[in-house]
Chains A and B, each alone.
Chain A
């Protein structure tokens, strides 16, 4: 008996997923078992913390307070709050109330996050050597700044990214994102180890000022300027490092719809930027691992393929059940379901075994990352959370990737920031 075409397609999919999982698992072993090369911070360079704002209101206070508490000489840090042209009155008032010798609230008169940051970088900075970007709804951990600085051991290092965690997750959606962010921390570290980290996230990335000036600041027309700047830096031969134990905290969407919108924006931006810069990434001086980028794109394609694959099996099952119900009756469907379970034993074969192995390795991969970050695992809570994460979040991510790719393709890169007035 030979395999059918759909079985061959399924087998190839499982083998590719297994290959990618094993590859990243080996990178994870290295991350959690090897001592990282760092530079001891002896001299304390001046740092400008740039916080672009829009409608964050009271959250801005927490953000600024977190910077004031970092373990770093206070006189070496200047905080620049960038007010957007569209910023509301409440946010303006909060920003003005925070002004001091170290905190400057600057009315930029421009729209868009990248434009606000560029305005400050070009017009307001003094003699700071490093720039820490911080979203106005994000906070930095007390020990993060020194840890980020310790990774600038090479002149080619342009930016060091932190591990972004979820700030006080409350509802189900936020708690699921807490796990997603933990898995992303390890994955980003893995990407950076493979010279393929394609994002310098807004909450807490530390840039070398001179490099940022050389490459021409942030792209003001880009919906994901944090990805764009990372790709542009790599394309110009600079390095992006990640410090896994330098934490920043961010407020995350609290409804599924908002989460979906956010992810679609991110992934649309990813495809737009990768397609825009793929020629640059091929340049001789680019310090990016193209084979790993291909691996990332393959992982993305596989996660997108989950949707049609799942839809196909759901269609087969539902159409079969529908035909049975309409032609025979619901009672027969129920009575045969138990017998089908018994018959299932006979259909248990090598493909089923390989699928179970892949599932097991996949779960181990996630639990290993979780253990590496949290140090201790709650067997019940964490297993349940990972199960929910796979079933709920996996499909949400796959859909977001799929829709993002579609949108990026349809818009052919013409995706720009739009500021909606606050409701």
Chain B
């Protein structure tokens, strides 16, 4: 009997050791991932600042500044989406998340500034983009939020990034997000805002999203082409 207990105690000790090793390596991995995400975020922030600067400068040639903005916004939209996916993956299913919440807030703030930039570009350059803003809940479950996020990424892709989507955690600890929550009265999820004015609540399939885009922004390239659903 003693032999069995010794073995059981040794097994418990071995399991505790393995859990310890997993957490130590998990922490080391998280420490490796964090600078990778931080570097990407810094690069995106620099790109965004460059675009904001472009939009602020009083160019004699407005069409040139609009062309620069159009090209930059498409690329940055894609980069920010990927970065958001990377950060969400790094944060999910782990208690070892050093600095991640700070990075998450920075990214949210950057995405918000990006959305504002697209709004301004539309005003100055004549509605070149369909500007989509989607809210999802950070602290509760949401049926369809992940799928709708994927659909928005797909719509951006097939529109050759003339449709840009910004996905925001409505519960992010960022004061500007709280202000937007109040402004749009964000209570149900997912919630989609088209071009800053039109609000659609609840989950939408890809054809439904395209239908709404065409309803509120009929000049979009998406409305001219046949999209397979």
Which residues of A line the B interface, CB within 8 A?
1-4, 7, 15, 18-20, 22-23, 26-27, 194, 289, 291-292, 320, 323-324, 326-329, 332, 336, 339, 343-351, 353-354, 357-358, 361
Q: How many residues of B contact A (CB 8 A)?
A: 46
Measured CA separation A18–B7 after assembly (Å): 14
8 Å CB contact of B90 from A339, A346, A353: A346
Measured CA separation A329–B150 after assembly (Å): 11
Q: List 6 A-B contacts (CB under 8 A).
A: A18-B15, A291-B8, A327-B229, A329-B229, A343-B85, A350-B96
* Chain A residues within an 8 Å CB radius of B206: 327-328
* Chain A residues within an 8 Å CB radius of B87: 346
* Chain B residues within an 8 Å CB radius of A1: 91-92, 94-95, 97, 100-101
Tell me whether A23 and B154 are in contact (CB under 8 A).
no
* Chain B residues within an 8 Å CB radius of A358: 18
Measured CA separation A172–B16 after assembly (Å): 39
Answer yes or no: B4 CB below 8 A from chain A CBs: yes
Name the distance in Å between A128's Cβ and chain B's nearest Cβ.
Answer: 35
Tell me whether B4 and A289 are in contact (CB under 8 A).
yes
Answer yes or no: B26 CB below 8 A from chain A CBs: yes
- Output the residue of B92, B94, B101 with the most chain A CB within 10 A: B94
Name the distance in Å between A6's Cβ and chain B's nearest Cβ.
Answer: 9
Tell me whether A23 and B147 are in contact (CB under 8 A).
no
Tell me whether A349 and B150 are in contact (CB under 8 A).
no
Name the distance in Å between A193's Cβ and chain B's nearest Cβ.
Answer: 9
* Chain B residues within an 8 Å CB radius of A27: 7
Tell me whether B30 and A349 are in contact (CB under 8 A).
yes
Tell me whether B7 and A350 are in contact (CB under 8 A).
no
Tell me whether A349 and B96 are in contact (CB under 8 A).
yes
Chain B 158-173, CB within 8 Å of chain A: the 1/0 string?
0000000000000000
Tell me whether B95 and A3 are in contact (CB under 8 A).
yes
8 Å CB contact of A23 from B8, B26, B29, B92: B8
- Output the residue of B15, B37, B96 with the most chain A CB within 10 A: B15
Answer yes or no: B116 CB below 8 A from chain A CBs: no
Answer yes or no: B176 CB below 8 A from chain A CBs: no
8 Å CB contact of A354 from B19, B85, B146: B19
* Chain B residues within an 8 Å CB radius of A332: 150, 154, 157
Measured CA separation A338–B12 after assembly (Å): 40
* Chain B residues within an 8 Å CB radius of A339: 82
Tell me whether B150 and A346 are in contact (CB under 8 A).
no
- Output the residue of B14, B27, B82 with the most chain A CB within 10 A: B14
Q: Given A289-B4, A323-B147, A336-B150, answer yes or no on A353-B95 (Cβ-Cβ < 8 Å).
A: no
8 Å CB contact of A348 from B1, B10, B29, B151: B29
Answer yes or no: B228 CB below 8 A from chain A CBs: yes
Measured CA separation A4–B19 after assembly (Å): 18
Measured CA separation A361–B27 after assembly (Å): 22
Q: Given A22-B15, A23-B7, A350-B94, answer yes or no on A343-B29 (Cβ-Cβ < 8 Å).
A: no
Tell me whether B22 and A23 are in contact (CB under 8 A).
no
Answer yes or no: B174 CB below 8 A from chain A CBs: no
With both beta carbons as reference points, the residue of chain B lying nearest to A357 in the complex is identified as B18
* Chain A residues within an 8 Å CB radius of B85: 343, 346
Name the distance in Å between B146's Cβ and chain A's nearest Cβ.
Answer: 8
* Chain A residues within an 8 Å CB radius of B82: 339
With both beta carbons as reference points, the residue of chain B lying nearest to A348 in the complex is identified as B29
Name the distance in Å between A19's Cβ and chain B's nearest Cβ.
Answer: 5
* Chain B residues within an 8 Å CB radius of A357: 18, 21-22
Name the distance in Å between A352's Cβ and chain B's nearest Cβ.
Answer: 8
* Chain B residues within an 8 Å CB radius of A329: 154, 228-229
**Which residues of B in the span 92-122 have a Cβ within 8 Å of any Cβ on A?**
92-97, 100-101
- Output the residue of B7, B146, B206 with the most chain A CB within 10 A: B7
Measured CA separation A27–B1 after assembly (Å): 13
* Chain B residues within an 8 Å CB radius of A324: 147, 150
Q: Given A336-B150, A353-B25, A357-B21, answer yes or no on A343-B89 (Cβ-Cβ < 8 Å).
A: yes
Tell me whether B89 and A344 are in contact (CB under 8 A).
yes
Q: Given A328-B151, A336-B150, answer yes or no on A346-B94 (Cβ-Cβ < 8 Å).
A: no
8 Å CB contact of A2 from B23, B89, B95: B95
* Chain A residues within an 8 Å CB radius of B27: 350
Answer yes or no: B124 CB below 8 A from chain A CBs: no
Answer yes or no: B219 CB below 8 A from chain A CBs: no
Q: Given A332-B154, A353-B22, A353-B26, answer yes or no on A346-B89 (Cβ-Cβ < 8 Å).
A: yes
Tell me whether A15 and B15 are in contact (CB under 8 A).
yes
Measured CA separation A351–B22 after assembly (Å): 7
Tell me whether A7 and B93 are in contact (CB under 8 A).
yes
Tell me whether A291 and B4 are in contact (CB under 8 A).
yes
Measured CA separation A358–B11 after assembly (Å): 13
Name the distance in Å between B155's Cβ and chain A's nearest Cβ.
Answer: 9
Name the distance in Å between A25's Cβ and chain B's nearest Cβ.
Answer: 8
Name the distance in Å between A408's Cβ and chain B's nearest Cβ.
Answer: 27
Answer yes or no: B205 CB below 8 A from chain A CBs: yes
| Extra 14 A-B pairs, beta carbons < 8 Å, given A19-B12, A320-B146 | A1-B92, A1-B97, A4-B93, A22-B15, A27-B7, A291-B8, A320-B147, A324-B147, A326-B229, A332-B157, A346-B33, A350-B26, A353-B21, A353-B25
Measured CA separation A15–B15 after assembly (Å): 7
* Chain B residues within an 8 Å CB radius of A2: 95
